[in-house]
């Protein structure tokens, strides 16, 4: 990766390059820097996966800085993104649990900015669909996953997919740590760029932050209140939001088991709580 650093340093005239803390959930590399070429503070993001790079690059271009971090430039050959630096960069997770209602409202504001209109049919070919993600539910087998939860997630996912409304380009992973304070507003970072109905977008926020949500005395009540808030703000059926949230919690557990992560038990507990609502 050091050669990549030198390559980008020359390409975008970077100075004062500093590595940023790496998330345990990703292999991407992040650096802060100053770009003489663009005369601004920037974030350099380098992807080991070309597929992930292309999805995020296209999503950032689509959102074009509205409700989302601004893409300044990119390099397809080396899978690098040059992004605006977000200041102060406070994560929305800092509001939890003390200012839970305020955090949920800020998340709703970001979602409204991101999704002011459905995705044009001409764009469908450029992005994966939530169907592609959910296919895993039909093939997944592991003793760590409850067959009852998995079967219910399969059934609900098929029902929800068959009844989808207007399709949007979703962020796909809009949890608290992917919503940051930028000047006087809040914006999203790290969009996955996946096509689905709007009701799908709320699931990541509802089941997070990990592990703090399950450390509260009333995690289910918190999740139900979030679903009600989003239902009211967007005119979407609360049950539909909760069903998608359950399906995504099971899917997150499957991904975590596949990746030998320490988080599957967390997602399974979330799914069990939501399962009791149906």
- Return the closest-CA partner of residue 193 out of 264, 138, 109, 115: 115
Clarify whether residues 179 and 234 are in a common domain: yes
Clarify whether residues 142 and 11 are in a common domain: no
242-254 per-position pLDDT tens digit:
999 999 999 999 9
CA atoms lying within 13 Å on the CB side of residue 10:
5
Clarify whether residues 115 and 149 are in a common domain: yes
Kindly report the CATH number assigned to the domain that includes residue 223: 3.90.1200.10
196-208 per-position pLDDT tens digit:
999 999 999 999 9
As a whole number of angstroms, the distance between CA 273 and CA 276 comes to 6
**Confidence at residue 22, expressed as pLDDT on a 0 to 100 scale:** 78
Instruction: Identify the domain containing residue 142 by its residue range.
Output: 89-275
The DSSP bridge partners found for residue 169 are 195
Clarify whether residues 19 and 122 are in a common domain: no
Q: Is the pLDDT of residue 3 over 70?
A: no
**77-86, 249-258, 260-269 — which is least confidently predicted?**
260-269
- Overall domain count for the chain: 2
Q: Is the pLDDT of residue 4 over 80?
A: no
> What is the rounded average pLDDT for all residues in the chain?
96
**Of the residues 43, 70, 85, which one is the last residue of a structural domain?**
85
41-65 per-position pLDDT tens digit:
999 999 999 999 999 999 999 999 9
**Confidence at residue 1, expressed as pLDDT on a 0 to 100 scale:** 47
Clarify whether residues 77 and 184 are in a common domain: no
Confidence band for 190, pLDDT divided at 50, 70 and 90: very high
Clarify whether residues 190 and 222 are in a common domain: yes
Clarify whether residues 70 and 183 are in a common domain: no
Q: Is 110 in contact with 234 (CB distance < 8 Å)?
A: no
- Residue 145: CB atoms within 10 Å: 21
């Amino acid at each position: 990766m050091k050669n990549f650093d030198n390559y980008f340093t020359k390409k975008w005239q970077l100075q004062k390059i500093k590595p940023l803390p790496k998330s345990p959930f990703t292999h991407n590399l992040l650096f802060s820097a100053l770009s003489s070429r663009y005369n601004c503070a920037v974030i350099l993001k380098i992807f080991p996966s070309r597929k992930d790079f292309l999805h995020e690059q296209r999503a950032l271009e689509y959102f074009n800085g509205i409700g989302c971090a601004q893409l300044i430039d990119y390099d397809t050959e080396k899978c690098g993104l040059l992004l605006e630096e977000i200041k102060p960069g406070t994560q929305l997770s800092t509001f939890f649990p003390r200012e839970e209602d305020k955090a949920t409202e800020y998340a709703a504001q970001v979602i409204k900015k991101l999704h002011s209109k459905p995705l044009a049919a001409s764009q469908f070919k450029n992005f994966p669909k939530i169907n592609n993600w959910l296919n895993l539910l039909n093939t997944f087998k592991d003793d760590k996953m409850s067959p009852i939860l998995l079967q219910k997630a399969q059934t609900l996912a098929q029902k929800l997919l068959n009844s989808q409304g207007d399709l949007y380009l979703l962020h796909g992973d809009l949890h608290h740590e992917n919503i940051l304070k930028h000047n006087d507003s809040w914006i999203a970072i790290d969009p996955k760029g996946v096509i689905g109905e709007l009701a799908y977008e709320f699931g990541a926020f509802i089941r997070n932050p990990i592990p703090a949500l399950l450390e509260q005395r009333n995690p289910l009540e918190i999740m139900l209140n979030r679903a009600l808030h989003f239902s009211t703000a967007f005119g979407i059926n609360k049950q539909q939001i909760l069903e998608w949230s359950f399906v995504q919690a099971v899917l997150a557990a499957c991904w975590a088991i596949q990746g030998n992560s320490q988080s599957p038990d967390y997602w399974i507990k979330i799914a069990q709580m939501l399962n009791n609502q149906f």
